[in-house]
Structures are given as structure tokens and as C-alpha cells.
Amino acid sequence: MTQRIKIDFVSDVSCPWCVIGLKSLEEALRRLGNEVSADIHFQPFELNPQMGTAGEDIAEHIEKKYGATAEQCARSREAIRARGEELGFHFEMGKRNRIYNTFDAHRLLHWAELEGRQ
């Protein structure tokens, strides 16, 4: 008999580690096969609610928020890229150099959920 569970997945849509977490969860559920059936419900979390609409340069933001050096950021980006590849998700780290407030993206997901399309 398949056990049915509900999972609240709390994440920010712009967070690469959240994508990795989601892909890891999906892989774990796939490995369980028919043992578990999961209803995944996405819950919003804003990593940078104070950020303005123009966003910020990612490197400057990470340095300011976490005190990370350019070398630490490069190692982190590589770890994200490599783990994403393991899970079948391709990050194009060089294409994105800004980070933005995600409030409107979370609002869009909420509205989509009301239509059954989250």
C-alpha cells in the first residue's frame, strides 16, 4: 500500500540551493517508487525581502551579506554547478550577474496555485 504524505517545500525561487534541494527530494521520492506518494506544496521564503526592485550585483551582494571573498564565491558556484549536474539540472552561472527581490515571483506562484497551476 502506498503511503501518502504532504511536504511543504519552503524556498526562494531564485535560490540555487533550493533547486538542488527540490531535485534531491524528487530523486529520493523516485527511489521510493510506489512506497510513498507525495503532495509537494511550495511555500514562499524571501531571502532578500529588503532588496529594491533594481536588484544588486550578485558578487557584491554575497560579499556584503555573508562576508564571502571572490574565491569563496567561485568555489560555491562550482559546488552548485556540480551538484546540479549530478541531479540533472544545468546551472548557467556565468549568465546571471544580478540578484533580485522575489516578492512578485512568489505572488505569481500564489496566484498560479489558486488556478491549480503552481
Q: Which residues contact 112 (CB under 8 A, 6 or more apart)?
A: 118
Q: Are 44 and 38 in contact (CB under 8 A)?
A: no
For the chain, domains (ranges, CATH) are 3-114 (3.40.30.10)
Letter for the amino acid at 15? Answer: C
For the cut 90, the answer to whether the pLDDT of residue 96 exceeds it is no
Is this structure's pTM higher than 0.75? yes
- pLDDT at position 1: 85
Model confidence over 16-75: pLDDT tens digits? 999 999 999 999 999 999 999 999 989 999 999 999 989 999 889 999 999 999 899 889
Q: Which residues contact 17 (CB under 8 A, 6 or more apart)?
A: 80
Letter for the amino acid at 37? Answer: S
For the cut 90, the answer to whether the pLDDT of residue 93 exceeds it is no
User: Can you read off the three cell numbers belonging to residue 88?
Assistant: 540533472
